[in-house]
Amino acid sequence: MIEAQGLTKRYGATVAVDNLSFEVKPGKVTGFLGPNGAGKSTTMRMILGLDTPTSGDVRIDGQRYRDLHQPLTKIGALLDAKWVHPNRSARAHLAWMAASNKLPKSSVDKALEMVGLTSVANKRAGAYSLGMSQRLGIAGALLGDPEVLLFDEPVNGLDPEGILWIRNFMHRLASEGRTVLVSSHLLSEMAQTAEELIVIGRGKLIAQSSTQEFVDRASGTTIKVRSPQLDQLAGVLNQQQLVTRIEDVDKQGKALFVEGDLTTDQIGEAAAAHGIVLHELTLQRGSLEQAFMQMTGDSVQYHAHDELAHVGDVRLDAPSNVEVVSGPKEDN
């Protein structure tokens, strides 16, 4: 369990993290989402004692990181998979990490096996592909068999097979009862990986809920109906104060879309009561992309506007981030 209370970090005039409170519970993968510059990495660094909060506090199973006796046995993290010395083998790298935390040598073999690197453990890490480097980073996080794991952008740049491996591995870690917090920009990937979400914008909490609730709350649901008597059905539903619209749908002709608090059962029954034939009745949920854009739109727009106004600022990346989070093919 990770608990943040009023966590705040200022760098001069920049408030990177602003009075942030959240809980990350065990047994689930929790996604940590936010536009570029929202404060995700700063928060992760504060959880790991790599940055000191300006105010507030964050605890791992009730303890601050700095008070942990053997940190790797409590919390493991993958922040940057490429920080390994390129001439060192995976085994030597892990052995060095294990020794620095007074962990037994057997922990190295166990971690290598968990991530499937045993057969290449003596190769230089500099010759590893990105996917193998990520696995090595994850092996480092697992060395002390910790209950809490943090992964910062673990699937960035990976091919579909690597992404699938990481997703399944995270599910496995959570099913073992561990607390798993993972940040990512790949929203369609997050929708499949994370059961819970913490969403932040400009350092502040925007939402903490299950992924499904977040999507439903932000983007709502729509019911799609196809029928040879669409106008008649629209009339019936409009009498019930429901918002309906008829649109052309590729190859299927026209369809009626119904928004509001009605279930597919109720629409089916209303149609039957008026002798209206239905060809399709489908509940359409919004996507995490839509929900994310809806909920974080203001914070992204603010950043874009704010930073374009300060052309000397190094982070002129917010406008392009808008494309990244909404792009259809971001999960390469």
Ligand X SMILES: Nc1ncnc2c1ncn2[C@@H]1O[C@H](COP(=O)(O)OP(=O)(O)OP(=O)(O)O)[C@@H](O)[C@H]1O
Note whether 271 and 278 are within 8 A (CB): yes
Nearest to 127 by CA among 90, 79, 80, 165: 90
Contacts with ligand X by CB under 6 A: the residue count is 12
Q: Which residue number, 41 or 244, has a Cβ lying nearer to ligand X?
A: 41
Rounded distance, CA 88 to CA 99, Å? Answer: 15
Tokens 């990520």 sit on residue: 134
Q: Which residue number, 42 or 133, has a Cβ lying nearer to ligand X?
A: 42
Q: Give the interface segment with ligand X, choosing from 30-38, 103-111, 216-224, 272-280 (CB under 6 A).
A: 30-38
Draw the binding track, 180-219, toward ligand X (x: CB under 6 A; -: no contact): ----------------------------------------
Q: Per rule CB under 6 A, is residue 14 in the interface with ligand X?
A: yes
**Angle ∠(211,215,219) on CA atoms, nearest 5:** 175
Q: Give the interface segment with ligand X, choosing from 38-46, 87-95, 138-146, 233-241 (CB under 6 A).
A: 38-46
Per DSSP, 153 falls in state S
Residues 40-79, interacting with ligand X (CB under 6 A)? 40-42
Among 7, 16, 150, 325, binds ligand X (CB under 6 A): 16
Q: Which residue number, 41 or 179, has a Cβ lying nearer to ligand X?
A: 41
Note whether 130 and 158 are within 8 A (CB): yes
Nearest to 191 by CA among 211, 207, 172, 210: 211
Note whether 280 and 298 are within 8 A (CB): no
Nearest distance from C-beta of residue 156 to ligand X, angstroms = 10
Among 20, 24, 33, 38, binds ligand X (CB under 6 A): 38
Rounded distance, CA 273 to CA 278, Å? Answer: 12
**Angle ∠(38,188,27) on CA atoms, nearest 5:** 80
For the chain, report the end-to-end CA distance as a whole number of angstroms. Answer: 32
Tokens 């990937």 sit on residue: 189
3 membership: H or E segment, kind and range: strand 2-11
Cα 276 off chain centre by = 43
Q: Which residue number, 20 or 121, has a Cβ lying nearer to ligand X?
A: 20
Q: Per rule CB under 6 A, is residue 173 in the interface with ligand X?
A: no
Draw the binding track, 293-332, toward ligand X (x: CB under 6 A; -: no contact): ----------------------x-----------------
Nearest distance from C-beta of residue 202 to ligand X, angstroms = 8
Amino acid found at 51: D
Nearest distance from C-beta of residue 321 to ligand X, angstroms = 7
Among 22, 24, 31, 39, binds ligand X (CB under 6 A): 39
Among 8, 30, 36, 134, binds ligand X (CB under 6 A): 36
Q: Give the interface segment with ligand X, choosing from 31-39, 69-77, 97-105, 284-292 (CB under 6 A).
A: 31-39
- Where does this chain bind ligand X (CB under 6 A)? 11, 14, 16, 34, 36-42, 315
